Copies of this chain bind each other. A is one copy, B any other.
């Protein structure tokens, strides 16, 4: 206690330190001590924020959250997002005390608690229910995977949007099927991250009055006081975004916090931002210091803190009698009743609005309607063809009529990415039923928001140029980690971008996508491959899909002459062939027709050539070895991979003996034909390289 800052911080709240024995205070201190103990035992983790925010977590969950612990999958539950994912012990403590019951991957109850005391004792251990950061699908009650800062903030905007959209579509007079709120706990780190700024701007613009961010302002960052790097007026900034801003001067003042939540619930024209001033590691000798953030307090400090709380020093993972009952009772009584009423209401709804109810059932099960793909066109052979962004737009528009919850938009590039739903309204503050989303030039927020929408069962998509994947990488990664069904539409997918030049020509982005575990990246080669690519993307088997489309026109191949585009579903297939091929041309996307032309020329010269279309490496690798060997026989090592992007990764298919016609630079600003000449994407060059490969 020699540090002035530490003394000040503790003193500020010292009158409150000792337990008053109230059920509320007991519950709050249980959260605190569970968090301390778990981090101490794991010898790893973040104790300070759970200790500071326990009163907030308690008050929100016990007094406000509309949540049935027995049915964590109730669609109209309030959402609680822990954007400060490192404070995972706060969430695990809340899940434990609320008595949330576990639901497995198939949606069935296991009869176990979502998080038991034993699970908390296994904090951060292999295969435990309590990993270092909260993981969606892994622990019941975790609404989204957080840890990378700002992500949860963005997700929560998507969840709030989803609620507004669902309410606009499904609510009918007397049937408020959707009317839940979304609460997000965020910290200084979130507030510094650009993605949260972008998402806050979107939320303010859309007047999402069902959204409440609770900002833990503790003036501490990892490097020290936030005055080192962060002294802006965050509240004023949120006012500029159009939010209602409320200050709570002390995180321990649960009455003031309750009043703030009451104000949120009474506000119907904009989102609410509650600035809560807290002391990190509250009550401990490290209180108010960055040393309370990301490491165990140490056994002595844990003991000292328990003394300060008036807590039994010798007990670890201690939940005083009655605390769990009190906490669970508070949330479950309210939640059970609300859910029971809701279930009864939905039963009545089935009678009065059978079609909508049936639709809702499908959607909530992530299932597609019968015949959902019946309107997808087959594109006739056409030498001129059309850009895959254009055919992509046509196919999307052939699906949206039958899948009403397929919604999305673009980061201010819809006229170029062609992802607008024709005839549909824009999603706006004045029209939450709209299906076209305008995310603005905010790629990262778009990613996080689309993830949040997907977490509410909407089949949602976001689009931009492929090169701007870079701006939203963290969100794409999280979509794959969470196994969401998002569709990411990336157009302008190669140096085919042309005149916009190197800053706009994706080179390494395809490799980035393909290197991402659990992400299906499909780069279709003509309009019919596009149709199959969208079919693949609509399949909701727990992975996001990236659709990679061209800016420039691509010939529509004659499928009476070449193999069916259905091969896309296997990731790779033999498009054109010769008996006993001597050389294999492997291509994706816009280079597919180039490969076909070169193939025809090789064949005309008497060379046995094969063209393999390889739009999805992910899918191809999921095929059995026999199929893969049939498409790419191990004995044929004269292979040429053709792609107007970087070479990286292609060696998987070309090996030591093959060739690649790919990019090793960032391209140049020029009309596409000039670039194709310059970089060797011509029939003559492909033929030449194929012969070289055969000769080696």
Contact = CB atoms under 8 A, between A and B. Distances in A.
A511 B473 CA distance: 14
Nearest to A674: B126
Given A229-B205, A232-B204, A194 B192 contact: no
Given A440-B192, A473-B470, A515-B649, A231 B242 contact: yes
A646 B508 contact: no
A69 to B, nearest CB: 24
Interface stretch (A71-79, A342-350, A494-502): A494-502
A222 B467 CA distance: 17
A379 interface: no
A676 to B, nearest CB: 11
How many chain copies does the complex carry? 2
A504 B413 CA distance: 31
A449 to B, nearest CB: 12
Nearest to A478: B503
Contact of A132 (B237, B477, B499, B652): B499
A427 B197 CA distance: 25
A678 to B, nearest CB: 7
Contacts of A467: 148
Given A241-B232, A441-B193, A501 B655 contact: no
Interface string A562-587: 00000000000000000000000000
A133 interface: yes
Given A133-B503, A512-B515, A198 B202 contact: no
B198 A192 contact: yes
Interface stretch (A51-59, A323-331, A660-668): A660-668
Contacts of A192: 198, 201, 412, 440-442
Contacts of A205: 229-232
Given A133-B669, A669-B124, A194 B651 contact: no
B503 A481 contact: yes
A145 B668 CA distance: 13
Given A126-B675, A230-B205, A239-B236, A499 B670 contact: no
Interface string A179-206: 0000000001110111111100110110
B131 A501 contact: yes
Nearest to A189: B441
Contacts of A478: 503
B230 A234 contact: no
A22 interface: no
Contacts of A512: 508, 511-512, 515
A228 B426 CA distance: 8
Contacts of A42: 499
Contact of A193 (B124, B193, B196, B198): B198
A504 B241 CA distance: 30
Contacts of A242: 231-233
Given A511-B515, A668-B127, A651 B646 contact: no
A229 B481 contact: no
Given A146-B503, A655-B656, A234 B240 contact: yes
A66 interface: no
Contact of A194 (B124, B236, B444, B656): B444
Which of under 10, 10 to 19, 20 to 34, or 35 or more describes the interface residues of A? 35 or more
Interface in A30-59: 42, 44-45
A195 B655 CA distance: 40
Interface in A98-127: 124-127
Interface in A657-692: 663-666, 668-671, 674-675, 678
A300 interface: no
A678 B173 CA distance: 55
B649 A649 contact: yes
Given A194-B195, A237-B237, A503-B147, A517 B511 contact: no
A416 interface: yes
A648 interface: yes
Given A193-B442, A202-B229, A504 B133 contact: yes
Interface in A230-271: 230-237, 239-242
Contacts of A481: 502-503, 666
Chain B CB count within 10 A is highest, among A229, A648, A668, for A229
A267 B91 CA distance: 47
Contacts of A498: 44
Chain B CB count within 10 A is highest, among A147, A234, A426, A480, for A147
B231 A132 contact: no
A637 to B, nearest CB: 8
Nearest to A409: B223
Interface string A465-503: 001101101100110110000000000000000111111
A306 interface: no
A479 to B, nearest CB: 12
Interface string A442-479: 10110000000000000000000001101101100110
B410 A223 contact: yes
A223 B415 contact: yes
A364 B583 CA distance: 53
B240 A514 contact: no
A541 interface: no
Q: Which 5 A-B pairs have the closest CB atoms?
A: A194-B194, A131-B669, A147-B503, A229-B440, A126-B670
Given A85-B503, A655-B655, 12 more contacts: A42-B499, A125-B671, A127-B670, A146-B503, A192-B442, A193-B441, A194-B194, A228-B440, A229-B412, A232-B242, A235-B240, A515-B649
10 contacts: A124-B501, A126-B675, A131-B669, A192-B441, A222-B415, A228-B440, A230-B440, A236-B239, A239-B240, A655-B655
